[in-house]
Amino acid sequence: MSKPVFILLHGAWHSPRCWDSLITALSKAGYSAVAPALPSSGSTPPTPDWTKDIETIRNTVENLVEENDVVVVTHSFSVSNLVQAL
């Protein structure tokens, strides 16, 4: 069985870079990981519409799940966007 690909979703005030050390560790263990940038991240004032985040999450999952098992890891507010994306 092949190893799953990890999709790492950051929180509202983070960027994909918050996952850098985990991506390095996963890579050393033979896993692939992606950390897409969520467009609303760090926006001031807060974005009232997370449509672009949901679109980003959905596209990332759909593109990878066609040929891979995936594990989605969320942090903070990305949980609610993931629920809406799926």
Tell me the per-residue pLDDT of 32-77, one tens digit each, with 9 for 90 and over.
999 999 888 877 766 777 888 889 999 999 999 999 999 999 887 6
> Which pLDDT score is estimated for 70?
96
Quote the pTM value: 0.85
Q: How far is CA 53 from CA 13, 22, 26, 45, 83, in A?
A: 13, 22, 24, 16, 11
pLDDT of residue 12 exceeding 70, the answer is yes
